[in-house]
Structure 1
Amino acid sequence: MTEVETDSRGRVTIPKDVRERYGERYRLVELRNSVRLVPVPKDPVGALRESASDELKQASMNELRESAGEEGRKQAEENVR
């Protein structure tokens, strides 16, 4: 684990080895008691298909959007109060 601090302008520097491993773009996700940086893949649809089940690999873009929306609503109900 690496500890980092914000600079006087509120910026955080991500160490080079982490950027090389995960890329240059991240989403800042606010959770109940913390924040998380989530890497944004260069090809989000390709990354989703690679990590998906065989069923999802064959799905259309509309089916992927619908599935993602359902999962997002489910997680929101479980984690946001």
Structure 2
Amino acid sequence: MSGTAKTDDRGRIVIPREVREKHGDRYRIVELDDRVELIPLRSDPIEGLQDAVGDAFEGKTIAEIKAEARQAAREAALSEDTT
């Protein structure tokens, strides 16, 4: 579905029911140079991450995923600091 929308006097835009039923009620607003995009937010962000990366994190807790991400970022920062 596509169409046009207009803000009301309070700056609100109504998202059509068909779109809300398909994508949900929560969206991240992303402002780009030439447009604004609405990105649907899942109620379970880990589910969205799993959809994006497959089973790469299967069997790991959120704490384990965070710790691995921090360690990878730390290692990347240290390897770039060799100049």
Task: Show structure 2 runs of 5+ residues with no match.
Answer: 74-83
Runs of 4+ in 1 over 6 A off after TM superposition: none
Q: Write 1 or 2 for the structure with the bigger share of helix.
A: 1
Aligned to 1:42: 43
Alignment of 1:1-81 (within 5 A): 1-57=2-58, 60-62=64-66, 63=68, 66=69
Partner secondary structure for residue 10 of structure 1: coil
Q: What is the number of equivalent residue pairs in this alignment?
A: 66
2:28 and 2:39 in contact (8 A); partners too: yes
Q: Which has the larger radius of gyration?
A: 2
Structure 1 unaligned segments of length 5 or more: list them: 71-81
TM-score by length of 2: 0.66
